[in-house]
Amino acid sequence: MSTVTTANYLNYINGEWVESTSNETIESINPAAPEEIVGHIQLSTKEDLDKAVEAAKNAQKTWRGLSGSERGEILYKVAAIMEERLEEIAECATREMGKTLAETKGETKRGIAILKYYAGEGMRKVGDVIPSTDNEALMFTTRVPLGVVGVITPWNFPVAIPIWKVAPALIYGNTVVIKPASESAVTFAKIAKCFADAGLPKGVLNMVTGSGTIVGGGIAAHPEIKGITFTGSNAVGKSIAHEAMKRGAKYQLEMGGKNPVIVAGDADIELAVDAVIKGAFLSTGQKCTATSRVIVEETIYDRFIKKLIAETKKITIGAGIHADSWMGPCASETQYKSVLQAIQTGINEGAKLILGGKPYEDKVNNGYFIEPTIFEVADQNIAIAREEIFGPVIALMKVSSMERAIDLANDSAYGLSASIFTGNITRMLKFVQEMEAGLIRVNAESAGVELQAPFGGMKESSSHSREQGEAAKEFFTSIKTVFVKG
């Protein structure tokens, strides 16, 4: 058995690293080598959460009283410390959830860039002057923080997603209680230490790890938490919305996707194939914006599928920490079994398996690897064409026209991201206008989000708010209208 570390990663509450009142921990496992323990995290209780919320509440008045530039300076310091620790954080993320080291390095760099972006937001305007009907009065708007914000994050982007929620929450004057996913909590503990070492005041950021039911559910229901931002499954997101609505808390949900790529008859096939492979199989398909359905016009279908199979066969699979691996394992045994079950369901329901579909034999460490998998699907109503899989699986569909392609792409409960490959401007514009998705990409893979741009979905993919860029202030602040007369 190989062990990277058996360190006990503590909760971070009110500026202190503390054990849970349960005195229990759970293991974080390397999915590429399940006998390897990356670390132990706290199995926290409601009492631990209450302490964290109390610390955040007590710190909020002083934190919001700082100027935006003062809060921004601390975020710049966090970014600088993360740059110094980039290799350590990236390697931990790779070992903890299986992404390749190249990907986790890129993600960590992105987290640093997000911190710098929001540090700069501290110097931007927070309101507008509005003409009043009374010419002797001054009327203007300003923005104020919500107060204590609860942050619940998934395992698939263990660096970027927590930071793109925490950074705007802090810059706009909120304090934070975060529950990172247990599968990636060791990675976030290292990020939390960067905040602590940057001099973030006590209680401004608090981390509590453990059960989604106890800690995550507790955040959703806690009366002192005024806003909840969540990324994860639809089932959990809906339960959070229900709890938040009962007590009038603000909530923001980013959830699932069944993201289509349309390949038109005039598409650059090599470009489309490359983008589909990256969109579907990088991160082992474990992205909410991953390519899941590929809809191809029949005039080029045979050429496209031949090229897609040939290029997919070139993918190297292995432990993410190894430089020669292009695709790593599923992030956990639970996810591994879920993906294999979805593949079997596709076979049982009549989809034609044309590549992969089996566990990838890992003779060294018995990791949770699955072959890149491609199905041909004639029936849009079967599960593999409709349900999110969150694994390296493509449902390939053939259509006779662009109109049919767009109808098929829109025939989904989800509406997160969508992409088209075409050289025809009329087709591009028709796709942009008619596609029911929050992120539209043209001649580019479906899985691509830029930190300065709003991100979020339509239909069941989102609560219809937007994250990142300037749009983040819409969630993390409330508008206050002020009327002044001498």
Give me the pLDDT at residue 322, please: 78
Residue 439, beta-bridge partner list: 417
Query: Per the residue annotation, which of 254, 371, 445, 460 is the catalytic one?
Result: 254
According to the 3-state scheme, what is the secondary structure of 433-464? Answer: HHCCCCEEEECCCCCCCCCCCCECCEECCECC
Residue 355, beta-bridge partner list: 374
Q: What is the mean pLDDT of residues 170-174?
A: 98
Give me the pLDDT at residue 447, please: 87
Average pLDDT, the chain: 96
Q: In the chain, what are the domains?
A: 8-255+462-485 (3.40.605.10), 259-450 (3.40.309.10)
For 140, other C-beta atoms within 10 Å of its C-beta total 14
Is pLDDT at 119 greater than 60 in this prediction? yes
Q: Would you say 44 and 10 are in contact if contact means Cβ atoms under 8 Å apart?
A: no
Is pLDDT at 3 greater than 60 in this prediction? no
Give me the pLDDT at residue 395, please: 98
Is pLDDT at 4 greater than 60 in this prediction? no
pLDDT tens figures, 8-61:
999 999 999 999 999 999 999 999 999 999 999 999 999 999 999 999 999 999
For the chain, the residue count is 486
Give me the pLDDT at residue 1, please: 33
Burial 150-185 (b: 16+ CB within 10 A, else e): bbbbbbbbbbbbbbbbbbbbbbbbbbbbbbbbbbbb
Give me the pLDDT at residue 449, please: 87
175-179 and 25-29 as β-strands: parallel, antiparallel, unpaired?
A: unpaired
Reported pTM = 0.96
Give me the pLDDT at residue 333, please: 96
Q: What is the mean pLDDT of residues 193-204?
A: 98
Q: What is the mean pLDDT of residues 370-383?
A: 96
Q: What is the mean pLDDT of residues 166-186?
A: 98
Burial 352-379 (b: 16+ CB within 10 A, else e): eebbbbebbebeebebbbbbbbbbbbee
Is pLDDT at 246 greater than 50 in this prediction? yes
SS3 163: helix
Q: What is the mean pLDDT of residues 89-98?
A: 96
Q: What is the mean pLDDT of residues 453-466?
A: 96
Residue 6: pLDDT band (50, 70, 90) is low
Give me the pLDDT at residue 131, please: 96
DSSP state of 10: P
Q: Would you say 205 and 36 are in contact if contact means Cβ atoms under 8 Å apart?
A: no
Q: What is the mean pLDDT of residues 125-130?
A: 95
Let me know if 254 is a catalytic residue. yes
Residue 264: pLDDT band (50, 70, 90) is very high
pLDDT tens figures, 212-231:
999 999 999 999 999 999 99
Q: Which residues contact 233 (CB under 8 A, 6 or more apart)?
A: 255, 256
CA 34/CA 36 separation, integer angstroms: 5
